[in-house]
Amino acid sequence: MPVRAPRYAAVLLAAATAATVTTAAIASTAHPSHVKTTRNCQPHAKGIGRNASAAQIVRTMRASIPDACGFTVTGELMGADFGIDGVALAGPTTFDGRGNAHVLYVTQGTVLDFYRVGGADYVRLYEYDAPTAVPDLNLRALWSEFGVSSRVVNKAGSTKWVRLNPAQQRAFNRSDMLGSLGTPSSLAAALADGTTATWKLSGTKVVDGIKCTAITDPAKNEQDFIETIYVNDKTGLPVTVRYAVRHGGTLATGFGHWSRTSAVTRPAQVVAG
C-alpha cells in the first residue's frame, strides 16, 4: 500500500514546496516536448445549465474531465478516494490528450515521479529533502514491492527513472501507488465522490475571471474539512477545489490548461527494470 501524505495543512504545504524545488533542479530536461495535443483530440465539454442541481453538476463534471483533451492539476487533493491523509502534489500533474500522464506527488518524505507514455510506465522515487541521495532502506523496500531488483535500484539511484517491465507494471498497479491519479477518469470519479456525502449548491463566484457555480460537501464527524468545488458554468470543468480545514487554514487544488497541455513524453534518463 502507498505511504500517505501527512494530514495537516502546514506539513502538506511544506513537503510539497520542498519537493517542487528539488524536483525542478533534477527533472528540468525530462519534459522537452511542447507539441500541442488538441490536433489529435476534440474536447467535448458541456455547460452545467442555468438551473442545474448539485447532483447534475457533479455528473457533468465527472463526464467532462476525461473528455477535456488534457489538463494540469496542482495543490492538494482530499476526500474519500484520496486516502486517509489525502495527496500533496509535488508539482504540476499533467494528463495530455493522447492518454499519457505525468504524476508527481509527495508521500511522507518520499516523492513519486511517474510517467505513463505510450503504455509504458516510468517510475522515480526519491526523498524530497535529499533528492540526489542513494536510496535508503525505506526506498529499497518500496521498490521491492513491485519487483525492481537491488541491481536496478543501484543503477537508477534517485535521479533516473526505471522503465517497468510488464510484470513490474502489474505489481505497481496492484500496489495502488498511483491511487486515483492514474487516469483522468479515475481522478474525475474520485473528485465526484467527495467524502461520499450529498453535494449541495453553495452559490456562485468568479474565480480567476471565470464564472463558476460552487458545490459543497459539508464536514462530517469523521472528517476535519469542508470541500467546495468551483465549476466553470460554460464547460462543466472544475476551476478550483478548496478545503476548509477545521484546525485552521485552507488547502486548495487548481485545475488548468484544459485542452492545451503539451504532450507528455518519456523522461530523458531511463534504466530498464
Nearest by Cα to 231 from 76, 90, 47, 41: 47
Per DSSP, the three-state class of 265 is coil
Nearest by Cα to 12 from 79, 133, 131, 109: 109
- The verdict on pTM exceeding 0.85 is no
Q: Which fold has domain 9-272?
A: outer membrane lipoprotein receptor (LolB), chain A (2.50.20)
Give the residue, 268 or 84, on which the prediction is more confident: 268
Residue 11 has pLDDT above 70, yes or no: no
What is the rounded CA–CA span in Å between residue 89 and residue 70?
17
Q: Which residues pair with 216 in a beta bridge?
A: 200, 228
Alpha-carbon dihedral angle through residues 37, 260, 65, 83, given to the nearest 10 degrees: 100
Residue 35 has pLDDT above 90, yes or no: no
Query: Mind listing the pLDDT tens digit for each residue in 188-219?
Result: 999 998 877 689 999 999 999 999 999 998 87
Per-residue pLDDT band for 47 (boundaries 50, 70, 90) equals confident
Residue 29 has pLDDT above 50, yes or no: no
Residue 33 has pLDDT above 90, yes or no: no
Element (H, E) at 57: helix 54-64
- Average of pLDDT values for 133-142? 91
Per-residue pLDDT band for 131 (boundaries 50, 70, 90) equals confident
Q: Out of 4-13, 20-29, 80-89, 254-263, give the one with best mean pLDDT.
A: 254-263
